[in-house]
Homo-oligomer: A and B are copies of this chain.
């Protein structure tokens, strides 16, 4: 099987696409041939022969000799159209588009079932870390209780340089973009959306639960300041952008809490030393206990290598079994969705703000610490988690929130 030469149709030739090209060229094990690459920009100079490229998606989608379509474009809506059409044509798809996957998960799952094709996406979460396949295959019968991960290389790179090098936010964001860690739209990274999408994918493979991006809280690091870094440092803590999901209550009958927000982590935490563009995911099972996976979470070659691994898996007819999802669906008579999500609880957070009016919509139940000065103010308080949704995606807000 592995001796077969496989034909690839590609969409997109940005950072990850070029990385995949490099990795494929040097991989000795996999015999693969890129037949055609569909790109958008006719004027952009390309590093490889122009005969590879087309600007018409039909040139790729209607080729009937393809074994796999690899989708690596930025535009999630367009990506969904491409991926759907490919699957309806009976072609297996590899994607690294977490936004597209998270926003359309149920439809994409149904397309896989209907057409009996594979859609695999290891490159969409955790960069080079094989987290999705491990959650799906290795922890398939474990009583997983939680996952928590640093899933966005850009946020972690920015936070680490602020913490360890005393650099400022804008400078490090620019560096991240130069180095190819940041997506073309930095808002999705820094406002926690990228982490949110990945968290939604890990929730599917950890617990068999399909959540929609608007159901799950994400807060970002777009308003983080040196005051916050110094506050953390004085207490021996670091600020990390973390996506998490965990079970509460009795197994099976229980609910889940899932969110993507900045959190303080102590030196004892496995994620404390996951720095710069590295990602780290900690998984906890009833019997395997805590397991941590650390690796490069962003960049051309690490993500390219994850995509390569997916292409390679297809040559062995691999597809996700979605065992947990199917089990839940069987028990409930329908695909499990937001009903099992619990957003109704209290959480202790650090909130930095300038004007009290900025945090008026946050329902504070008790204040543990309060600091006021002419320059900045903060409180450490227990708040109603649900009320933090008022800050979700709020571009005007200058408030920084971090879970304690």
Residues of A that sit less than 8 Å from B by CB: 2, 19, 22-23, 26-30, 122, 128-130, 133-134, 137-143, 251-252, 270, 273, 285-296, 301-302, 304-306, 308-309, 312-313, 316, 321, 323-324, 327
Contacts and interface: CB of A to CB of B under 8 A. Distances in A.
Given A2-B323, A287-B304, 18 more contacts: A27-B141, A29-B327, A130-B134, A137-B313, A138-B309, A139-B309, A141-B312, A273-B273, A286-B301, A287-B305, A287-B308, A288-B302, A289-B302, A290-B295, A290-B296, A292-B292, A292-B294, A316-B321
Contact of A140 (B29, B140, B251, B301): B29
B292 A140 contact: no
The number of times this chain is found in the oligomer is 2
Contacts of A295: 288-292
Residue among A30, A134, A287, A312 with the highest chain B CB neighbour number at 10 A: A287
A293 B316 CA distance: 25
Contacts of A287: 19, 22-23, 26, 128, 301-302, 304-305, 308
A218 to B, nearest CB: 26
Nearest to A280: B292
Contacts of A142: 27, 305, 308-309
B2 A128 contact: no
Contacts of A289: 128, 295-296, 301-302
Q: Is the interface of A mostly helix, strand, loop or mixed?
A: mixed
18 contacts: A28-B141, A28-B251, A29-B140, A29-B141, A29-B324, A128-B289, A130-B134, A139-B309, A141-B309, A141-B312, A286-B301, A288-B295, A288-B301, A288-B302, A288-B306, A292-B293, A293-B294, A316-B321
Nearest to A20: B287
Nearest to A323: B2
Nearest to A289: B296
B292 A288 contact: no
Given A137-B313, A309-B140, A29 B288 contact: no
A130 B293 CA distance: 10
Contacts of A138: 122, 130, 133, 309
A2 to B, nearest CB: 6
Residue among A26, A289, A306, A327 with the highest chain B CB neighbour number at 10 A: A289
B293 A293 contact: yes
A323 to B, nearest CB: 6
A115 to B, nearest CB: 20
Q: 5 smallest A-B Cβ distances: which pairs?
A: A291-B295, A287-B305, A29-B141, A128-B288, A287-B301
A193 to B, nearest CB: 25
Contact of A143 (B26, B129, B296, B316): B26
Contacts of A134: 130, 134
Contacts of A23: 287
B313 A285 contact: no
B296 A293 contact: no
Contacts of A129: 291
Contacts of A2: 321, 323
Nearest to A141: B29
